[in-house]
Amino acid sequence: MTPAHYVDGAFRAPAADDSHTFPLIDPVDGTVTGRVPEAGRATVDEAVAAARGALRGPWGALGAAERAAALRAVADGIDARFEEFVAAECADTGKPRPLAAQVDIPRAAGNFRAYADLIAGRHEESYRTAVPGWSGGAGEALNYTVRRPLGVVAVVSPWNLPLLLLTWKVAPALAAGNAVVAKPSEETPSTATLLAEVVHAAGLPRGAFNLVHGHGPGGAGEFLTAHEDVDAIAFTGSTATGTAIMRGAAEHLTPVSFELGGKNPALVFADADLDAAVEGTVRSAFTHSGQICLCTERVYVQRPLFEEFVTRLAGRARALRDYGPMISAAHRDKVLGHYRLAREEGAEVLAGGGVPAFGGARDGGFFVEPTVLTGLPPTARTVREEIFGPVCHVAPFDTEEEALALANDSSYGLAATLWTTDLSRAHRVAPRVEAGMVWVNCWNLRDLRTPFGGVKASGIGREGGTHSLDFFSEPTNVCVSIGE
């Protein structure tokens, strides 16, 4: 798979000039596996112009049912090349095959199917309104709302769930009738390129979907998101990058949908099913080596369960074997920096805390150990800053009020997990957690129709179901006087 830009319905081979490409690195062993083209300003301009052209051309003329059919064709195309997608996602990210085969790639196809269904079944809002006497009319009026696409949508996505998160935005944007220019993470360009091939084969009109590769600041990402002819930006990534993108967007008042970082708490109450809570926390803290924005990094356990919970969680962490690497050497160094900081802050390291030795090619990769910490106060940086690695800090609490205060003591508010068998407690506590999503006795159980996103520094707006379709479209209300 050679990453390539896809602009106006045509692939562009990487420029012959090496300065316009950068290396693609396998995080499992640190080897260079290919080169990625870096889109300059001119390529981004062409992609945005192609998207604008598509809106004025055949793509813009399609109705909802035809767009739904196009989305289904893309989903079928992903399914047809399933193994290629899985291999490419594993090669770019180093993630274990089951994760890509059971989550990333099926969800990418699922994103297109979900939005095909939603757009095909979408109905308009309407109201009958009594006409007041002062208006000179009589009887009733009919109000109904039509929705138009926003126009050219920029999609900027991260490296952790590359195709899943790219398609999570591209699918609803296309469903609502927009044209898209997507820029995947520079670390993970391959499945996005395969997606462009699938879109091409599915016969979407040229310019409806465009793909440019490259870096963020001072590169393709910034050129795209600060572009004056972009009508909306959908971004998933770090809070710092969200802030930078918003600065550029402010210049043109471009609307943004942001899904940003998290420092997600898990609350384990004394009445919890301990086995389920331990296994659930192993999943929520260590899946994809903690490189999912929803991962748990703070665990609060009610005192009667605390000792047994941490002992068991640390044991499970030490026993983990088939985990993937950090995405890059830079990210590994960042996570290891946090492990060092935790020690400096006085943490007790119950599991991990370093670099594993496998004794083979993987020792050249970017692995860090699954790590369990305890003993830090709520003010410690380790307990406050997003680490985005396989690590959680576990602390005890006594009362429900204390648990809520600890959970909410964060600048982030993405997701939380509650472990309890007390139904009343679950319903009492869940709405009081300052988070966009609260899972009770489960984690990352997804229904694509539900709102997805965060509060505070974790994001702006919600994705999922009609929430995405609302963001990617503009309502116009039509009021018709019917008379008596």
Ligand X SMILES: O=C(O)/C=C/C=C(\O)C(=O)O
Ligand Y SMILES: NC(=O)C1=CN([C@@H]2O[C@H](COP(=O)(O)OP(=O)(O)OC[C@H]3O[C@@H](n4cnc5c(N)ncnc54)[C@H](O)[C@@H]3O)[C@@H](O)[C@H]2O)C=CC1
Q: Where along the sequence are the contacts to ligand X (CB under 6 A)?
A: 158, 160-161, 165, 168, 236, 259, 292-294, 446, 452
In the region spanning residues 42 to 81, those forming contacts with ligand Y, defined by CB under 6 A, are none
Among 452, 432, 414, CA closest to 264: 414
Q: Which helix (H) or strand (E) holds 460?
A: strand 459-460
**Contact between 279 and 246 (Cβ < 8 Å):** no
Pick one of ligand X, ligand Y, none as the site partner of residue 155 (Cβ within 5 to 8 A by kind).
none
Whichever of 157 and 302 has its CB closer to ligand Y, that residue is 157
Reading the block at residue 122, the tokens are 């979408």
Q: Please state the φ and ψ torsions of residue 132, each to the nearest 5 degrees.
A: -70, 150
Whichever of 22 and 452 has its CB closer to ligand X, that residue is 452
Instruction: Tell how far CA 196 is from the center of its chain.
Output: 19
Beta strand 348-351 with 296-302 is unpaired
Among 102, 87, 112, CA closest to 166: 112
> Cα(229)–Cα(252) distance, rounded to whole angstroms?
9
Q: Which helix (H) or strand (E) holds 394?
A: strand 391-397
Using Cβ positions, the residue closest to ligand Y within the complex turns out to be 216
In the region spanning residues 222 to 241, those forming contacts with ligand Y, defined by CB under 6 A, are 222, 225, 236-238, 241
Query: Judged by CB under 6 A, which stretch of 53-61, 138-146, 217-225, 390-398 contacts ligand Y?
Result: 217-225
State the CB neighbour count (10 A cutoff) for residue 46. 18
Pick one of ligand X, ligand Y, none as the site partner of residue 334 (Cβ within 5 to 8 A by kind).
ligand Y
Given the residues 186, 259, 297, 463, the one annotated as active site: 259
Pick one of ligand Y, ligand X, none as the site partner of residue 446 (Cβ within 5 to 8 A by kind).
ligand X
> Cα(387)–Cα(373) distance, rounded to whole angstroms?
13
Pick one of ligand Y, ligand X, none as the site partner of residue 173 (Cβ within 5 to 8 A by kind).
none
Whichever of 112 and 452 has its CB closer to ligand X, that residue is 452
* Side chain identity, residue 442: C
**Contact between 234 and 257 (Cβ < 8 Å):** yes
Binding of ligand Y at residue 331 (CB under 6 A)? Answer: yes
Q: Please state the φ and ψ torsions of residue 3, each to the nearest 5 degrees.
A: -60, 135
Whichever of 167 and 473 has its CB closer to ligand Y, that residue is 167
Pick one of ligand Y, ligand X, none as the site partner of residue 33 (Cβ within 5 to 8 A by kind).
none
Helix axes 82-93, 64-80, angle to 10 degrees: 70
Pick one of ligand X, ligand Y, none as the site partner of residue 161 (Cβ within 5 to 8 A by kind).
ligand X
**Contact between 245 and 64 (Cβ < 8 Å):** no
Using Cβ positions, the residue closest to ligand X within the complex turns out to be 293
Query: Judged by CB under 6 A, which stretch of 58-66, 178-186, 203-211, 405-413 contacts ligand Y?
Result: 178-186
Residue of 92, 231, 369, 386 that binds ligand Y (CB under 6 A): 386
Is 259 labeled as catalytic in the residue annotation?
yes
- Which of the residues are catalytic? 259
Which positions touch ligand Y (CB under 6 A)?
156-160, 183, 185-186, 215-217, 221-222, 225, 236-238, 241, 244-245, 260-261, 293, 331, 334, 386, 388
